[in-house]
Amino acid sequence: MYKATAGEILLRGFFIRGRLYYYTFTRFASSNGRDLPRRRCCNAFRQMRVASHAAIAKQVLPERTQLDRVNRTLKYILLALAALVVVFIVYRIIAASAPPVPKKQPTPLVRVAQPIRQDIVYKIEYDGDVIPILQANVFSRVSGMLEAVYTDMGKTVRRGQLIALIDTAAAHQSELQAAATFYNARATEARARDLVQKNLASQQDLDNATAALRLAEAAYESAKIQLSFSKITAPFPGYVTKRWLDPGAIVSSNPIAGSSNTTILTIMDIDTVKVYVNVLDRDIPRIGEAKRAIITFDALPGREFTGYISRSAQAINLTTRTMPVEILIPNRDQTIKPGAFAHVTLVLGEHPQAITVPAESVLRDKDGAYVLAAQDSIAKRIPIQTGEAQNGRIEVLTGLTGNEPVIVTGQTFAKPNAKVKVVAK
């Protein structure tokens, strides 16, 4: 809301007062009938009003001049503040675009370790399952009732040992019939031969008798073989790992996979066991370099067994891109059991007394592998060629003599040819 100044209020007061005087004076002059002309009075009043206005202007003018000065001062102050703001903004822009002043970096603290010499084994590792060198499911080659089983699970058997017997009554009778026919045919053939020598029989009769003898002999041999099939023997020495049938069961001479009346016993030879490992295609060229195999088992902690590669499939499985490799393990004391899970290490070669450094000390960039060695409190970059990694250490083939203290902690902060501070060895 606008507020009038004191000079404006005074000027308005004089103006209103002058109008009032003029009105009163003119009425008074006309009412009294004085002979003073009315125009003369008006002129006098006008002169008085002009004089009063001039006096008021002299009083108000200094106040307006002072207000203009204040406004002008405020304008200058605002312009100065705006200039300061512009200068500050320009300074910040120039400061932001200027390169930062490099700070002095503290000397990095590092820890060093001396390279050591140890035997390095070149190897590849795989897992596999143990299976026996020989395994057979024993079944009967003739049909009939299982008359007896002479061994049981966990027992050892010898090659050719009688382990089961099938009912031989029918087979024995067939064998007797075949034997009678054979002996009769043999006697007939002998008589025909004697008659031919005496010219009492034709050669045709002798030929028929000879053919009948041979048929009878073949039938007799077949009957004896069928009778022998009733006696089931062990095909090789080993352990009986499972007994499937008991005496009195009916067995069939036509074995069917998974049938309950075909297999009688399961026998395994575990004096030597084998492990099949599926070798990746990238490792197949190195299989020929394998000197031996070291096998360990979770079930036998702390023990190692030595084996060798006996054969390989010589073909890659299209589904898994692997090649089966068979490893034989001597097992004279039968410690290793079929079905065990095995960890196989194929030893491809050995490098005795190789220079090794901790794995964390080896750094890599576009130029290859290197280590930082602390020499006279200066980090020196030494390019190296690495070999096998073993037990947290890396073999160094070239680049080190074995006497350089390599940085193992703080190497990420150390720069080549820069100062470092070794805190411990």
Task: Show the 3-state SS of 39-50.
Answer: HHHHHHHHHHHH
At position 253, the amino acid (one-letter code) is: S
DSSP track, 44-69:
HHHHHHHHHHHHHHHHHHHHHHHHHH
**Is 196 in the same domain as 231?**
yes
337: pLDDT strictly greater than 70: yes
Which of 314, 334, 351 is the last residue in one of the domains? 351
5: pLDDT strictly greater than 70: no
Tokens of 404: 């350089």
Asked if 326 and 276 touch (Cβ cutoff 8 Å), the reply is yes
Query: Which pLDDT value is given to residue 50?
Result: 62
CATH of the domain at 394: 2.40.420.20
**Is 337 in the same domain as 370?**
no
Domains: count for the chain:
4
Query: Which pLDDT value is given to residue 55?
Result: 55
**Is 216 in the same domain as 325?**
no
Please report whether residue 131 resides in a domain: no
Query: Which pLDDT value is given to residue 326?
Result: 94
Asked if 425 and 112 touch (Cβ cutoff 8 Å), the reply is yes
Please report whether residue 282 resides in a domain: yes
Query: Which pLDDT value is given to residue 343?
Result: 95
Asked if 395 and 353 touch (Cβ cutoff 8 Å), the reply is no
Name the more confident of 36 and 302: 302
Structure-token match 């041999």, residue found: 221
Residues of 313-333 as b/e, b for ≥16 C-beta within 10 angstroms? Answer: eeebeeeeebbbbbbbbebee
**Is 151 in the same domain as 200?**
yes
Radius of gyration (Cα) for the chain, nearest Å?
A: 62
Please report whether residue 361 resides in a domain: yes
Which of 321, 351, 381 is the last residue in one of the domains? 351
Tokens of 258: 């998974």
Asked if 178 and 223 touch (Cβ cutoff 8 Å), the reply is yes
Closest CA to 362 of 339, 381, 375: 381
Query: Which pLDDT value is given to residue 309?
Result: 92
**Range 273-285 average pLDDT:** 92
24: pLDDT strictly greater than 90: no
For 75-99, what is each residue's pLDDT tens digit?
778 888 888 888 778 777 877 776 6
Give the separation between CA 137 and CA 140, rounded to whole angstroms. 10
Give the separation between CA 386 and CA 369, rounded to whole angstroms. 7
34: pLDDT strictly greater than 60: no
Query: Which pLDDT value is given to residue 2?
Result: 45
Give the separation between CA 244 and CA 94, rounded to whole angstroms. 94
Please report whether residue 189 resides in a domain: yes
pLDDT confidence tier of residue 73, bands split at 50, 70 and 90: confident
pLDDT confidence tier of residue 43, bands split at 50, 70 and 90: low
**Is 375 in the same domain as 279?**
no
Range of 69's domain? 6-97
Handedness of CA 221, 226, 227, 228 (dihedral sign): positive
191: pLDDT strictly greater than 70: yes
Query: Which pLDDT value is given to residue 62?
Result: 56
Query: Which pLDDT value is given to residue 296?
Result: 94
Q: Which residues contact 345 (CB under 8 A, 6 or more apart)?
A: 123, 124, 125, 293, 294, 295, 296
Query: Which pLDDT value is given to residue 53?
Result: 57
Query: Which pLDDT value is given to residue 103?
Result: 63
Helix, strand, coil % over all residues of the chain, rounded to 5: 35, 35, 30
Asked if 270 and 236 touch (Cβ cutoff 8 Å), the reply is no
**Is 289 in the same domain as 218?**
no
Give the separation between CA 302 and CA 297, rounded to whole angstroms. 9
Please report whether residue 125 resides in a domain: no
Name the more confident of 127 and 42: 127
Asked if 392 and 356 touch (Cβ cutoff 8 Å), the reply is no
CB atoms within 10 A of CB 373: 19
Closest CA to 184 of 206, 159, 217, 147: 217
**Range 349-353 average pLDDT:** 85
Cα-based distances in Å from 10 to 16, 55, 66, 233:
10, 11, 18, 147
245: pLDDT strictly greater than 60: yes
Query: Which pLDDT value is given to residue 35?
Result: 45
Please report whether residue 129 resides in a domain: no
Tokens of 88: 């500050």
For 361-413, what is each residue's pLDDT tens digit?
899 988 889 999 888 888 899 999 998 888 889 999 988 888 888 988 888 88
CATH of the domain at 347: 2.40.30.170
**Is 157 in the same domain as 254?**
yes
For 116-163, what is each residue's pLDDT tens digit?
998 888 888 999 999 999 999 998 888 888 999 999 999 999 999 999
Percent of the residues in the chain that have a pLDDT greater than 90, as a whole number: 32
Mean pLDDT over the full length of the chain = 82
**Is 151 in the same domain as 245?**
yes
**Is 230 in the same domain as 280?**
no
Which of 323, 351, 379 is the last residue in one of the domains? 351
Q: Could you report how far apart the first and last alpha carbons of the chain are, in Å?
A: 85
Give the separation between CA 274 and CA 342, rounded to whole angstroms. 10
197: pLDDT strictly greater than 90: no
Q: Which of 120-134, 184-198, 251-265, 281-295 has the lowest mean pLDDT?
A: 251-265
Please report whether residue 128 resides in a domain: no
425: pLDDT strictly greater than 60: no
Percent of the residues in the chain that have a pLDDT greater than 70, as a whole number: 80
Name the more confident of 168 and 32: 168
DSSP track, 219-252:
HHHHHHHHHHHTEEE-SSSEEEEEE---TT-EE-
> Please, what is the Cα angle at 132 between 152 and 275, to 5 degrees?
155
pTM beyond cutoff 0.75: no
